Every structure is written in structure tokens, then in C-alpha cells.
Amino acid sequence: MMDYLFLLPVCFLVLSVVLATRAVKRGTKTKKAVAVQLVSFLVVTLFCFGVPMVAQAADASTAAAAASSANGMGLIAAALSTGIAGIGGGIAVAAAAPAAIGATSEDPKAFGKALIFVALGEGIALYGLLVSILILAKI
């Protein structure tokens, strides 16, 4: 029974996608369907993080369990810092690169200045990677 417990959040998310798709086909606004999807994802995320913490709190008698929880949270923090910084860098480059190409096509001398703005967007992703390396070094 415990081996298949991980399927519960997956089934819930699949069910919410199916219900949202049916709702949009029936005439519900897309924004409302997306909001329902985000709320269901948030509920599943809180469930997936909360249940192991509660289970470990009930078994707090061992110090090894607390250390493994801290290790797991460190890994989650490293993943979030890299992922969110990568998304932010992608958004920055997606906005800066077309503008840089347009500026270069109008004036070839503007290439150096335009390249700097694109590189600044990539710097965000590099900072996130650096933070995650520092977090992993502490674990």
C-alpha cells in the first residue's frame, strides 16, 4: 500500500487537468480554468511537502531523521534557486535578445552595447547556479 502512495498526487493532478479541459470545452473562461489548475497544483505541493514533515515529526526520536530532513530541504533549496534563476534569465534574454538584434540591424555599431544587455540577463541564471553550488557545499 505504501509503495503506491506516491500515485495519489499524480492522480489528483491528472484529474484536475481533465476537469479543467472539460470545463473549458463547456464554456468556462480560460483564466478561471488556469486559476483552478494553479490552486490544485498548490494543494498537491503543500500535501507532498507537508505529509513527510508531519510523519517525521511523529518520529522525531532519531537525530538521523532530522539530519536527513535538513539535507532534503537543502537539496530542494538548491533546486529552487537554480530553477527560478534559470526561468528569470530566460525571460530576461527573451526580452533583450530580439531588441538587440533589431538595434544591431539598424546600427551595426550598437552590437557591443546590445550584447551587454543580453549578457546581464544571463548573469541572473549564473547567480542562481552559484547560490545552489554554495548551498550544496554546506550540505
Residues 68 and 49 in one domain: no
For every residue of 73-115, which 3-state class applies, written as one string? HHHHHHHHHHHHHHHHHHHHHHHHHHHHHHHHHHCHHHHHHHH
Question: Which are the contacts of 111, defined by CB distance < 8 A and separation ≥ 6?
Answer: 100, 104
Residues 90 and 126 in one domain: yes
Residues 69 and 107 in one domain: yes
pLDDT below 70 — which residues of the chain? Answer: 1-6, 54-69
Residues 30 and 72 in one domain: no
The model's pTM: 0.56
Domain assignment of residue 70, given as a range = 63-139
Dump pLDDT digits (tens) for 22-51. 888 888 888 888 888 888 888 887 877 777
At which of 38, 58, 78 does a domain end?
58
Sign of CA dihedral 119, 123, 125, 126: positive
Residue 137's domain is classified under what CATH number? 1.20.20.10
Distance CA(7)–CA(95), nearest Å, equals 39
